[in-house]
């Protein structure tokens, strides 16, 4: 796919499906490969410096022990919850207090 994305055929997708891949898994794999190819081309064209070997070792260790989605720190977790509440379109708006009959203007 990286060398010639036009060579991917329906037959390739059918073989992957027969091996147990879902449409979503195929989509994800194509997306990941495409993004990595884009990033590699971008890095090569802009001259971004490579990470030292120790950086790769540390990153690999972190991914192996914590995975890609580690638990956020407590302060960050609280900030994320607050942000989700503030931006949730389904969130119920606070009820407006009702005026008593005496305070209503006639």
Q: Cβ-count burial of 37 within 10 angstroms (0-12 exposed, 13-18 middle, 19+ buried)? A: middle
- Sorted by where each begins, the domain ranges of the chain are 1-65
Report, as an integer, the average pLDDT of 69-75.
70
Long-range Cβ pairs for the range 72-80 (8 Å, 24+): none
Query: What are the pLDDT digits (tens) for 10-57?
Result: 999 999 999 999 999 999 999 999 999 999 999 999 999 888 999 999
CA distance 15 to 13: 5
- Whether the Cβ atoms of residue 13 and residue 26 lie closer than 8 Å to each other: yes
CA distance 91 to 88: 5
Query: What are the pLDDT digits (tens) for 18-27?
Result: 999 999 999 9
Query: Coil, strand or helix: which one is 102?
Result: helix
In the structure encoding, which two tokens stand for residue 60, read together?
A: 């690999």
Q: Per the confidence metrics, is the pTM higher than 0.75?
A: no
């Amino acid at each position: 796919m990286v060398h010639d994305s036009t060579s991917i055929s329906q037959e390739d997708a059918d073989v992957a499906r027969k091996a147990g891949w879902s449409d979503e898994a195929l989509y994800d794999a194509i997306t990941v490969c495409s993004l990595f190819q884009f990033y590699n081309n971008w890095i090569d064209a802009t001259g971004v410096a490579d990470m030292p070997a120790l950086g790769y070792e540390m990153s690999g260790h972190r991914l192996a022990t914590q995975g890609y989605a580690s638990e956020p720190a407590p302060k960050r977790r609280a900030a994320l919850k607050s942000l989700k509440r503030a931006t949730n379109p389904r969130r119920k708006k606070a009820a407006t207090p009702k005026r008593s009959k005496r305070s209503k203007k006639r």
